[in-house]
Amino acid sequence: MQIIRQWYKQIKFQTKVLVLMNALIFIIFLALYLYIHSITSQNIQEEVGKKALAVSEAISASPSIIQAFDEDDPSANIQVYTDAIQHKIDAEFIVVGDKNEVRLAHPLKDRIGKKMVGDDNERALQDGKSYISKKEGSIGLSIRGKSPIIKDGDIVGVVSVGYLLEDIHKLVWKQNTPILFLLIVFLGIGMAGAFLIAQHLKKLLHKMEPEEIASLLLQKEAILQSVKEGIIAVDIHNRITLINEATKEMLQIETDVIGKRLDAILSFPLLHYAKTNEMSQDTEYIIKNEPVLMNVLSLKMDDTLYGAVLTFRKKTDLEKATRELSSIKQYSEGLRAQTHEFSNKIHTLYGLIQLQHYEEAKQFIEEELDTSSTYYPSLENQIKDAVIHGLLIAKYNIANEKGITFEIEKDSSLQKINDEQIRQCILLTLGNLIDNAFAATLSSNRPYVQLHITDVGNNIVLEVDDNGKGVPEAMIDLIFEDGITTKQTIGHGKGLFIVQRAVHALDGEILIDESDFGGARFIVILPKKGANK
């Protein structure tokens, strides 16, 4: 047994499948044949028994047999009568005995006059009943039909008609031979089918062994749970087949959802996008008031859709890195603008000194000090949040480089923001609205942008005004939709759409109106408490 186990462990998966399936098929067909053989044997024995009983009843009721009992030697006539019938019905024996169970007729002449064997005549001779019995007689084990011989109301003898069980078994085997042949044919077909199935499984498993698959499964599970992105897989019926811990955390799921429908936890037409391929990479979506970037992957084989995989990650996670890069870029642009401007001014100052125009140089320096305080005002008393303060300084530098007058109203005020989600929303909103205002004023003779911030009360209010051309009345109701823009260049129309979603995620509001300066005014109202949770 140990050798068989060792051999089984060493053989390949395809061979294991083939061996197991063939063994199973063989056992099933063997059990089926034994069952058929048993049923056939039972039915034939019942039929033979009924036949023996019918013949014994007919002989016991025969007038020739009954009248023979009145003769001095009944055996002679009875023997002739039974021999003739025995050859016609192919019985192994027909035995007639008197009421003392002494044989009056028997196929073997030397046994006439001797006592009948089997001890199964009692019911016929005493109770007068006809019946079927299976007993060992002088010829062998046989199925017998027993009937009493009744004359003038008295039981005078018994008739026993029998068929050897050995002959019945031969008949059963003869009957079952075609069935056995068919079963052998089907067994061969089943084994061939098992071979084809094993080949097919080998192909489906990419010729990998179960141990390799188990190892890959463990690796996949480890990778799946280690990634920070949310991952959900569904089958063709939209039932969840895979979900990682990051997804459960994002969607606030605490129970097991494997096997449940996706729409029970997330309202997103995943299968539709998988079938149509309409969804672009990193599509923005709101989940639990959190903006995320989604990607859909179709699970297909030979153009047949088997399911889909949805991956998504918090946009704020990407925005943190993006903001850091953006801040660096803005500071870089600001420094570049300052470097370029002050380089020209230093050259001018150097030229005045070389020409010994000292008074003009002194006056030039004083004017630059006044101008610098105008372009780069101190916001520390108004904007207490360092991150937002830094953003506004960067915007001042960009405005200065582009020749745009950018002012913050003197009564603006903003305390330090402790809620990171609110801070990120303000940064996103100010960055987009101010950049849009800068772009809108470039066609003006004196481009001007004004910002007003206040956190007095329960809300934080942001107002951005410009003296550009404003928003056409026909576009006011559409301006916040994805892809809608007043710019002529391709690739715009995302900013206001993203801003609106971020503001609404915090239960805030964004409005658009006509500015007092002739352009557009955008008003954003954010509750200090953030989104209602």
- Mode of pairing for the β-strands spanning 131-136 and 103-105: unpaired
pLDDT of residue 464: 95
Q: Which residue has the higher pLDDT, 510 or 200?
A: 510
Would you state the pLDDT for residue 522? Answer: 94
Q: Are 196 and 94 in contact (CB under 8 A)?
A: no
Confirm whether 91 is domain-assigned: yes
Give residue 533's pLDDT band: very low, low, confident or very high (50, 70, 90). Answer: very low
Please, are residues 131 and 123 in contact by the beta-carbon 8 Å criterion?
Answer: yes
Confidence of residue 455 (pLDDT cuts 50, 70, 90): very high
**Residue 374 has what pLDDT?**
45
pLDDT (mean) for 224-243: 86
Of 12-21, 75-84, 147-156, 415-424, least confident by mean pLDDT is: 12-21
pLDDT of residue 466: 94
Across 442-451, b (16+ Cβ under 10 Å) vs e yields eebeebbbbb
Range(s) of the domain holding residue 127: 14-170
**496 vs 477, more confident:** 496
Q: Give residue-wise pLDDT tens across range 367-392.
A: 665 544 444 556 777 888 888 888 88
Confidence bin at 337 (pLDDT 50/70/90): low
Higher pLDDT, 290 or 463: 463
Give the per-residue pLDDT at 188.
82
Percent of the chain with pLDDT over 90: 14
Say if residues 294 and 282 touch (Cβ distance below 8 Å): yes
Question: Is there a single domain that holds both residue 90 and residue 234?
Answer: no
Q: Of 314, 345, 368, which marks where a domain is finished? A: 314
Residues 397 and 510 placed together within one structural domain of the fold: yes
Strands 230-235 and 154-164: unpaired
Is 463:475 a contact under the CB 8 Å cutoff? no
Domain containing residue 406: CATH number: 3.30.565.10
Residue range 93-109: average pLDDT? 88
Q: Which of 7, 22, 23, 10 lies closest to 209 in space, CA to CA?
A: 10
Q: Among 275, 273, 276, which Cα is nearest to 311's? A: 273
The length of the chain, given as a count of residues: 533
Say yes or no: 282 and 419 in one domain: no
The answer, yes or no, to whether residue 17 has pLDDT greater than 70, is yes
On average, the pLDDT of the chain sits at 81
Average the pLDDT over 80-100 and give the result.
86
Same domain, 387 and 514: yes
Q: What mean pLDDT do residues 154-175 have?
A: 85
**pLDDT, mean of residues 283-300:** 83
For residues 166 and 18, membership in a common domain is answered with: yes
User: Is there a single domain that holds both residue 161 and residue 254?
Assistant: no
* Domain assignment present for 56: yes
- 388 with 511, same domain: the answer is yes
CA atoms within 13 A on the CB side of 418: 2
Beta bridge partners of 297: 309
Statement to judge: residues 160 and 234 lie in one domain: no
Give the three-class secondary structure for 71.
Answer: coil
Coil, strand or helix: which one is 425?
helix
Residue 2 reports pLDDT greater than 60: yes
- Does the structure show a pLDDT above 60 at 214? yes
Res 439 pLDDT > 70: yes
Residue 411 sits in the same domain as residue 504: yes
281: number of Cβ within 10 Å: 8
How many domains, in total, are found in the chain?
A: 3
What distance in Å separates the CA atoms of residue 289 and residue 504, rounded to the nearest whole number?
8
Q: Is the pLDDT at 153 greater than 50, yes or no? A: yes
pLDDT score for 320 = 64
Residue 186 covered by a domain: no
Provide the pLDDT for residue 340. Answer: 62
| pLDDT exceeds cutoff 90 at 525 | yes
Say if 277 falls within a structural domain.
yes
Rounded Cα distance between 448 and 407, Å, is 8
pLDDT at 377: 57
Q: What is the pLDDT of residue 300?
A: 84
The amino acid at residue 173 is W
Residue 152 falls inside a structural domain: yes
Secondary structure of residue 388 in the 3-state scheme = helix
Q: What is the mean pLDDT of residues 428-451?
A: 91
Q: CA 158, 164, 170: angle at the middle one, nearest 5?
A: 155
- The mean pLDDT value for 53-64 works out to 89
Average pLDDT (182-190) is 81
What pLDDT is stored for residue 89 in this prediction? 84
Answer whether residue 166 shows pLDDT above 80. Answer: yes
Q: Indicate if 393 and 309 belong to the same structural domain.
A: no
Q: 492: pLDDT confidence band, cut at 50, 70 and 90? A: very low
Rounded to 5 degrees, what angle do the CA atoms 449, 330, 321 make? 120
User: Same domain, yes or no, for 284 and 422?
Assistant: no
Q: Which of 268, 294, 314 is the last residue of a domain?
A: 314
Question: Does residue 217 form part of some domain?
Answer: no
- CATH number, domain with residue 50: 3.30.450.20
Nearest alpha carbon to residue 326 among 495, 467, 451, 525? 495
pLDDT of residue 321: 65
The DSSP 8-state label assigned to residue 73 in this structure reads: -
pLDDT at res. 8: 62
Rounded Cα distance between 267 and 250, Å, is 14
What's the rounded Cα separation, in Å, for the pair 18 and 22? 6
344 within a domain of the structure (yes/no)? no
pLDDT reported for residue 450: 94
Determine the pLDDT at residue 373. 45
pLDDT at 332: 63
Name the least confident of 186-190, 256-260, 448-452.
Answer: 186-190
Domain boundary among 153, 170, 187: 170
> Token pair 């037409």 is at which residue?
269
Pair 124, 96: CB distance under 8 Å: no
Domain check: are 523 and 386 in the same one?
A: yes
Residue 2 in any domain: the answer is no
Edge to edge, what strands does the sheet with 459-466 contain? Answer: 405-408, 448-454, 459-466, 520-527, 509-514
Q: What is the mean pLDDT of residues 60-72?
A: 86
